[in-house]
Amino acid sequence: DHHVNYGSGSGLQDRVAFVQNDPSQYDASIRLADLQVSDTGTYQCRVKKNTVAVHEVIVTVQEKPATPQCWIEGEVIEGSSILLRCYSR
């Protein structure tokens, strides 16, 4: 029907658009801009021409990891061993 149903309170209205200007030309793909962790969920594409076709896609948005903290354990002496450790939340 040439429209996107955003769901209630989803915050997607300004971030979702059809990839092609006219989805009736056989491409009803949508683009979701500025992904957020809260966008994780099941999305459904429902296309109606002569019949109705429905396809669901599960989207999982993961958070970008924090900058790792790295350090050396052991004394830096030629010929000795050290341990390089990194940690990220």
Could you tell me the residue ranges of all domains in the chain?
1-88
Count of C-beta atoms within a 10 Å radius of residue 61: 12
pLDDT at 2: 67
pTM of the model: 0.57
50: left (phi over 0), alpha (psi -120 to 50) or beta: alpha
pLDDT in tens, 45-87: 877 778 888 889 999 999 887 899 999 999 999 999 999 999 8
- What's the longest Cα–Cα distance across the chain? 75
Nearest residue to 23 (alpha-carbon basis) of 55, 56, 45: 45
Tokens describing residue 40: 């994780």
pLDDT in tens, 12-52: 888 888 888 887 777 778 888 998 888 898 888 877 778 88
Contact indicator for 10, 25 with CB cutoff of 8 Å: no
